[in-house]
């Protein structure tokens, strides 16, 4: 019952949305995904916060009235208005550091975007795979329906046995179950795609895999390594850490203060300037050492990211070549021809229904195995070319 409900829901969903290509689906996911939208807003807030930290301090004002018993009202007063600021070179260094940190966040967003779109693309590939499986199952069910009609007539004429008739009916029953399972799997895939699309229904309108890249394996490897966004983000983190060292090396420079001061004593008043500063004897302690440690960490992470990118690319290229060889080992036209010959043979009474299904099931298993390998192959290609999403 649950499977039937999911199947009906999937059909209703497919009917309510416009069919799209894989490229259209990925564009929609990028626009509607809540995680990516939240990350963009978070990066925007972080950029504003970083810029705010490099602004001048707020000016301060102090006013102190003084009273004594010998004077009526206020005896004297003091007004101090002052503005604190860092050494000018520090603002420039922090501004550059802020830009580099913004670049790191942008690359981290691109990494998250790439991974999410790869996830969405793999779901699309699953949908193509499921549609191809459904086409095979529909073909088998059509054959079973036609054979059932033919052998029912033969049975009525005494030319077929009840065993043969029941064998065909069992095949139809099994195919109905497999089709329902395929529809259920498709409904689950569409549900996952809908979640990635910000909860908005979306469907794939093609039963074909995307075109394969024209580049050879060597070019694909170089492209995968050189364009890896994770490595780029790690490299950007190293540059940001280097700039952070430069910023912290200036942390010993005193903070300056300038201002205006007015003192009154009765009717007398005096005005003057205020110049001062604070020496960071304690607040700057270990700042450079900390920044250097973070720089070392960033360099190690960059090295690790580069090693992982190269190792992953090599493994994926090797897997792609192996899967390609396996696919070429399957002779799909031969399998199709064999199915046609088997159908003709059973219709002409040259083989029994039992023999037909034994042989046909073996061919169909090989066809489905080929489709599984084909799905794996396109998944590996998608992983190799993920940085181009």
Question: Has residue 69 got a pLDDT over 70?
Answer: yes
Q: Mean pLDDT across the chain, nearest whole number?
A: 89
The pLDDT assigned to 104 comes to 96
Q: Taking residues 15-35, what's their average pLDDT?
A: 83
The pLDDT assigned to 274 comes to 85
Higher-pLDDT residue of 159 and 367 is 367
Alpha-carbon distance of 114 to 183, in angstroms, equals: 29
The pLDDT assigned to 67 comes to 82
Q: Which two tokens stand for residue 304?
A: 């690790």
The pLDDT assigned to 4 comes to 46
The pLDDT assigned to 18 comes to 53
The pLDDT assigned to 253 comes to 82
Beta-strand pair 203-204/19-20: parallel
Specify which residues 64 forms β-bridges with.
78
Of all residues in the chain, what percent carry a pLDDT higher than 70? 95
The pLDDT assigned to 15 comes to 44
Q: Taking residues 308-337, what's their average pLDDT?
A: 96
Cα dihedral 223/225/227/233 (nearest 10): 180
What Cα–Cα distance (Å) separates residue 350 from each residue in 174, 254, 353, 355?
Answer: 25, 101, 10, 10
User: Taking a C-beta distance cutoff of 8 angstroms, is the pair 253, 64 a contact?
Assistant: no
Tens of pLDDT, residues 206-224: 778 999 988 889 999 999 9
User: Taking a C-beta distance cutoff of 8 angstroms, is the pair 346, 356 a contact?
Assistant: yes
Q: Is the dihedral of CA 214, 217, 222, 228 positive or negative?
A: positive
Task: Write down all domains in the chain, each with its CATH number in brackets.
Answer: 2-388 (1.20.1600.10)
Residues 6+ positions from 172 with CB-CB distance below 8 Å: 141, 144, 145, 148
Q: Could you tell me the pLDDT band of residue 275, with boundaries at 50, 70 and 90? A: confident
The pLDDT assigned to 336 comes to 94
The pLDDT assigned to 77 comes to 86
The pLDDT assigned to 183 comes to 94
Q: Could you tell me the pLDDT band of residue 227, with boundaries at 50, 70 and 90? A: very high
Tens of pLDDT, residues 129-186: 999 999 999 999 999 999 899 889 888 888 888 888 899 999 999 999 999 999 999 9
Question: Has residue 52 got a pLDDT over 90?
Answer: no
Q: What is the DSSP string of 171-182?
A: HHHHHHHHHHHH
The pLDDT assigned to 13 comes to 45
Question: Has residue 79 got a pLDDT over 60?
Answer: yes
The pLDDT assigned to 349 comes to 87
Q: Which two tokens stand for residue 370?
A: 């080929």
Alpha-carbon distance of 365 to 204, in angstroms, equals: 26
Q: Which of 28, 36, 197, 110 is nearest to 388 (CA)?
A: 110
Question: Has residue 16 got a pLDDT over 50?
Answer: no
The pLDDT assigned to 277 comes to 81
Rounded to 5 degrees, what are φ and ψ at 208?
-120, 145
Alpha-carbon distance of 125 to 216, in angstroms, equals: 22
The pLDDT assigned to 56 comes to 83
């Amino acid at each position: 019952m649950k499977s039937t409900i999911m199947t009906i829901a999937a059909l209703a969903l497919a009917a309510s949305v416009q069919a799209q290509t894989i490229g259209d689906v990925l564009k929609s996911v990028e626009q509607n995904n809540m995680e990516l939208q939240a990350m963009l807003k978070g990066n925007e807030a972080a950029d504003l916060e970083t810029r705010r930290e490099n602004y001048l301090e707020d000016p301060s004002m102090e006013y102190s009235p003084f009273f004594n018993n010998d004077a009526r009202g206020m005896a004297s007063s003091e007004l101090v208005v002052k503005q604190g600021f860092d050494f000018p070179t520090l603002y420039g260094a922090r501004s550059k550091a802020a830009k580099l940190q913004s670049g790191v966040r942008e690359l981290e967003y691109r990494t998250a975007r790439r991974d999410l779109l790869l996830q969405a693309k793999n779901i699309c590939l699953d949908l193509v795979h499921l549609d191809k499986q459904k086409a095979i199952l529909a073909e088998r069910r059509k054959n079973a329906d036609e054979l059932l009609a033919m052998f029912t007539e033969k049975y009525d004429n005494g030319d077929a046995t009840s065993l043969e008739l029941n064998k065909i009916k069992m095949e139809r029953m099994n195919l109905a179950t497999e089709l329902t399972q395929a529809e259920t799997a498709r409904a689950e895939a569409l549900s996952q795609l809908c979640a990635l699309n910000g909860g908005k229904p979306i469907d794939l309108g093609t039963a074909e895999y995307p075109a394969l890249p024209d580049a050879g394996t060597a070019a694909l490897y170089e492209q995968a390594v050189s364009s890896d966004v994770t490595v780029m983000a790690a490299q950007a983190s190293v540059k940001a850490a280097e700039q952070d060292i430069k910023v912290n090396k200036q942390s010993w420079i005193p903070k300056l203060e300038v201002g205006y001061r007015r003192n009154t004593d009765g009717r007398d008043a005096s005005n003057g300037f205020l110049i001062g500063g604070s020496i960071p004897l304690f607040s700057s302690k270990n700042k450079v050492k900390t920044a250097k440690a973070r720089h070392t960490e960033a360099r190690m992470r960059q090295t690790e990211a580069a090693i992982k990118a190269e190792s992953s690319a090599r493994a994926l290229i090797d897997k792609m070549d192996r899967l390609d060889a396996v696919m070429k080992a399957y002779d799909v036209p031969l399998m199709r021809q064999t199915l046609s010959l088997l159908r003709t043979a059973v219709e002409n009474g040259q083989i029994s229904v039992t023999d037909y299904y034994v042989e046909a099931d073996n061919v169909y298993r090989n066809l489905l195995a080929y489709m599984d390998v084909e799905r794996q192959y396109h998944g590996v290609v998608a992983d190799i070319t993920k940085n181009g999403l």
